[in-house]
Amino acid sequence: MRRTALIVAVALALALAGAFALGLQDWLSQNAIAFQRGAQNALAGALRALRAGQPGAVTGFLGLCFAHGFLHALGPGHGKAVIAAYAAASSSSLRRLIGLAALSSLAQAAVAVVLVHAGVWLLDGARDRVEGLAGMVEPLSFAMIAALGLMLARRGAGRLAGSRAVPHIGHDHAHGPDCGCGHGHVPDPAALAKTKDRREAAALILGVALRPCTSALFLLILTWRFDLDLLGILGAFVMGLGTMAVTASAGLTAALMRRGVFLALPDGGSLRPVMALFELMLGVSITVLSGATALRLL
């Protein structure tokens, strides 16, 4: 009885969170034009103040960069959905999720910096070509996320196969390489899990990082032109901190929800195949969607 109440409560909370997220996204896209324009005007003002060497310009600029990254990450995209999805599907620790969010957001800023400065050196700073360069990198990001999806799918499939293996009665033969009794002979599972985790982490970080924010690109180009490159680079990373605040929260929320669901649902081995199946489906859908987008953008 209490369990049912818990399940209902969690389901309601999820529905509310979903509705809230949807509502917020909707409201944001309705007002996206006004927001974007306001944000751009503010950035232009800050850059002008920097160029003129006005007192307090640096602090104002950095504060604006943080706000920019934060508010932009609240809108669609910017990796928070990927991290939330990953948090929901995998059993990563909260600390690990925060680390992933931090690394991916900061890597995103780093990619923007590299793109602009590569553009400056190789393409003589032509803005449209830098944007073109960013566009070329974008399919890679989706390829990364597709790879992540594949890894999750494989893990789910593996768990599904493993959980289906019924305990043998009369398991009395020696285990050789051609055993074929339905379970794999793998090296130390803990170490294996660790490598897989690292690969997943890499795919996730790269997937998010290879999609830099256009505002960051604009900011970096302009500060370079004004001989304020280092400040621009700092600004881009501060923007990354703002983004990180949102993506980390998204990941944490998803992870806590996952734990909440686990606690609420009944115990028993019956749950494991369902979770494994879910992980498999999730992995497949990530792969298909991202792979398709990657191909589309190529």
Contact set with other proteins (CB under 8 A):
10-11, 14-15, 17-18, 25, 29-30, 32-33, 36-37, 40-41, 43-45, 47-48, 51-52, 76-79, 81-82, 84-85, 88-89, 126-127, 138, 142, 145, 211, 214, 218, 221-222, 225-226, 254, 257-258, 261, 274, 278, 281-282, 285-286, 289-290, 292-293, 295-298
| Smaller CB separation from other proteins, 32 or 165 | 32
SS3 string, 70-139, reads HHHHHCCCCCHHHHHHHHHHCCCCHHHHHHHHHHHHHHHHHHHHHHHHHHHHHCCCCHHHHHHHHHHHHH
Quote the least distance from Cβ 95 to other proteins, whole Å. Answer: 22
| Smaller CB separation from other proteins, 18 or 63 | 18
H-type alpha helices, 165-270: 189-209, 214-225, 229-264
| Smaller CB separation from other proteins, 55 or 180 | 55
Gap between the Cα atoms of 213 and 134, Å rounded: 10
Give the largest CA-CA distance in the chain.
83
Gap between the Cα atoms of 7 and 64, Å rounded: 42
Quote the least distance from Cβ 241 to other proteins, whole Å. Answer: 21
CB 81, CB 219: distance < 8 Å: no
Instruction: Measure CA of the first residue to CA of the last residue in the chain; give whole Å.
Output: 54
Which residue in the block uniquely carries the two structure tokens 């959980």?
A: 163
| Smaller CB separation from other proteins, 168 or 259 | 259
| Smaller CB separation from other proteins, 17 or 179 | 17
Quote the least distance from Cβ 113 to other proteins, whole Å. Answer: 18
- In the chain, DSSP finds a helix count (H) and a strand count (E) of 10, 0
Gap between the Cα atoms of 134 and 124, Å rounded: 15
Quote the least distance from Cβ 188 to other proteins, whole Å. Answer: 31
CB 122, CB 220: distance < 8 Å: no
| Smaller CB separation from other proteins, 93 or 214 | 214
Quote the least distance from Cβ 46 to other proteins, whole Å. Answer: 10
| Smaller CB separation from other proteins, 4 or 41 | 41
Quote the least distance from Cβ 161 to other proteins, whole Å. Answer: 21
Quote the least distance from Cβ 204 to other proteins, whole Å. Answer: 11
